[in-house]
């Protein structure tokens, strides 16, 4: 699963500029977002650690479980590879390669099996051209542009008191937020596909599935937290732009 907390980190730096002129209370929105993301991240790490100590009854490793989930889903053209790092697991649709990290590939824990199956969920979405996934891929360039340019453009708008630049900055930032919004159904759906195959294929038993739901649920919450943090930052930009109008 991809746990990178996204797009808008460059925005955290703005507080210095605000504090230089006056106490910028809107910075509290950034801090609130940061806290939400930290809590979600600690939660997923805790849940993952807990279930990475629970051995799956089948004894299948993450890689073997992924093989089985793909096979049960009728997918034959996806390769499974090992990738270094912690929670760096992902499915690469361009090369049709499913990469599983150290803690997933050769571990036979419930957590490893569930994370591997979740990545298979993305491969299944890709094969079936699942709508939100297609939309998400389409949005990648716009989201990258938005997260790179939103802050510089907005800052120029503030410095030169140019309203159109502030608006463009807000629109650019909204593109990044939109991308995060579309990411939610993609992630939730990958997990529900994964759990369905794990259950129907008899790869995990009932108790194990309950644990798996907790692991994947905690992972999904990190995406919700990232979105919430970005929405708070968007709100902040809107408030700052509005304040500048009144100056």
Residues recognised as catalytic: 119
State which residue, 55 or 90, has the beta carbon closest to Zn ion: 90
By CB under 5 A, is residue 220 in contact with Zn ion?
no
- Output the smallest distance, CB 137 to Zn ion, in A: 14
Strand arrangement, sheet containing 90-92: 79-82, 97-100, 90-92
By CB under 5 A, is residue 123 in contact with Zn ion?
no
By CB under 5 A, is residue 110 in contact with Zn ion?
no
By CB under 5 A, is residue 153 in contact with Zn ion?
no
Structure tokens at 201: 């294929």
State which residue, 24 or 187, has the beta carbon closest to Zn ion: 187
Residue nearest to Zn ion according to CB distances in the complex = 1
By CB under 5 A, is residue 215 in contact with Zn ion?
no
Q: What one-character DSSP code corresponds to residue 202? A: T
Q: Residue 99 in contact with residue 82, Cβ under 8 Å?
A: yes
Beta strands 90-92 and 97-100, pairing class? antiparallel
Cα separation, 155 vs 150, whole angstroms: 9
Lookup result for tokens 């939109």: 178
- Output the smallest distance, CB 170 to Zn ion, in A: 29
State which residue, 1 or 166, has the beta carbon closest to Zn ion: 1
- Output the smallest distance, CB 114 to Zn ion, in A: 11
Binding mask 171-190 for Zn ion (x = CB under 5 A): ----------------x--x
Query: What are the strands, taking DSSP E only, across 79-227?
Result: 79-82, 90-92, 97-100
Number of residues that bind Zn ion (CB under 5 A): 3
By CB under 5 A, is residue 1 in contact with Zn ion?
yes
Q: What angle do CA 23, 27, 32 make, to 5 degrees?
A: 140
By CB under 5 A, is residue 198 in contact with Zn ion?
no
> Which helix (DSSP H) or strand (DSSP E) does residue 196 occupy?
helix 163-200
- Output the smallest distance, CB 88 to Zn ion, in A: 12
Q: Residue 183 in contact with residue 114, Cβ under 8 Å?
A: no
Binding stretches for Zn ion (CB under 5 A): 1, 187, 190
């Amino acid at each position: 699963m991809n746990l990178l907390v996204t797009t808008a980190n460059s925005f955290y730096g703005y507080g210095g500029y605000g504090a230089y002129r006056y106490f910028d209370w809107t910075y509290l929105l950034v801090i609130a977002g940061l806290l939400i993301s930290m809590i979600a991240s600690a939660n997923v790490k805790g849940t993952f650690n807990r279930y990475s100590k629970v051995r799956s009854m089948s004894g299948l490793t993450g890689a073997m479980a992924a093989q089985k989930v793909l096979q049960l889903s009728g997918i034959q053209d996806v390769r499974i590879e090992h990738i270094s790092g912690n929670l760096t697991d992902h499915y690469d649709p361009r090369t049709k390669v499913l990469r599983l990290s150290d803690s997933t590939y050769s571990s036979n824990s419930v957590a490893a099996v569930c994370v591997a199956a979740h990545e298979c969920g993305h491969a299944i979405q890709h094969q079936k051209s699942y709508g939100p996934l297609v939309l998400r891929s389409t949005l990648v360039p716009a989201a990258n542009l938005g997260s790179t340019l939103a802050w510089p453009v907005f800052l120029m708008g503030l410095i030169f008191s140019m309203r159109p630049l502030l608006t463009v900055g807000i629109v650019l930032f909204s593109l990044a937020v939109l991308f995060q919004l579309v990411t939610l159904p993609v992630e939730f759906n990958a997990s529900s596909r994964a759990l369905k195959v794990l259950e129907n294929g008899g790869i995990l038993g009932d108790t194990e599935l309950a644990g798996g739901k907790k692991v994947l649920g905690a992972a999904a919450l990190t995406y919700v937290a990232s979105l919430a943090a970005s929405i708070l930052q968007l709100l902040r930009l809107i408030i700052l732009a509005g304040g500048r109008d009144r100056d």
